[in-house]
Amino acid sequence: MTEPENDVQMFERWERSVEFRLFGDASDPTLTVPEQIATKVGDRVIAGQLQPGERIGEQELADEFKVSRGPVREAIRILEREGLVRVLARRGAVVTQLSARELHDLFEIRAGLFEIVVRKIAAQRPKDLLAVMREGVRRLGALADLADGGNAYAEMTYRLIVISARFSGNDRLRRMISALSLQTLRYSKLGLASVERRQRSVGLWQQSLLALEQGDTERLIALSHQRTQESGAEAVRLLQDDPPAA
């Protein structure tokens, strides 16, 4: 008889299903050539290797990946669709450079969509999700006090959000949450860079876990909105202090 998984095993199984990349949430691992290129370039954007406003050269990518410019153009269209690049007249493709207003709007949209997820999971309280959340929140607690734990902390919150969305039972909603979470991840890292902010955040996650365990839907929704609002507000504040170049 197979032994039931503990919280750590359950978390690690679900964690492996979530990647910080385009198509990381897809059930089909087979990617076309343009999708493969888009994934690799998208990875660089998310990791900060390509900075906001930085130009993405078609010919340079074609040379790097040893393909014609056709697949590269298709890859750029994919990246544009996902909100990671913009195609500008006379400049070509550049890494998306959000204004403070645009960033605020993205966090607001994500919070609204995640409320639907919260209502669904609070009503069902899946045992697997409870196990994932217990272990995930425990790991957030360990990262919150580390001076250099900001990036790992933000990535952990990304995982918990995306995994929660998978339990909603709504594939379209899941994909939208995943896309928005990916677009805002690099900015979430800004908003969670300080130990003080992470300590505040993990307290809200701990309260959220308790509300989920108790099936307190309205409390869980309020805490979810508060987490997103505070993280987004800090990211927006930092972006306003260092606005995009004209």
Give residue limits of the domains in the chain: 33-95, 100-241
The sign one gets for the Cα dihedral 180, 186, 190, 192 is positive
| pLDDT value for 26 | 53
- CA-angle at 82, arms to 105 and 205, nearest 5°: 55
Specify the pTM. 0.84
* Integer Cα distance of 112 and 244 in angstroms: 26
The pLDDT score that the predictor gives to residue 47 is 81
* Residue from 214, 224, 219, 228 nearest 130 by CA: 214
pLDDT of residue 48: 83
pLDDT (0 to 100) of residue 225: 96
> Is 100-241 the same fold as 33-95?
no
Give the C-alpha separation, 48 to 223, whole Å.
29
SS3 129: helix
CA dihedral 127, 133, 136, 140 (to 10 degrees): -160
CATH architecture, range 100-241: Up-down Bundle (1.20)
pLDDT computed for residue 7 by the predictor: 86
Nearest alpha-carbon partner for 228 in 137, 126, 103, 119: 103
Q: Which residues of the chain have pLDDT under 70?
A: 1-4, 17-29, 242-246
What fold, for 33-95? Arc Repressor Mutant, subunit A (1.10.10)
- Longest CA–CA separation in the chain, Å: 65
User: What integer pLDDT is reported at residue 83 of this predicted model?
Assistant: 87
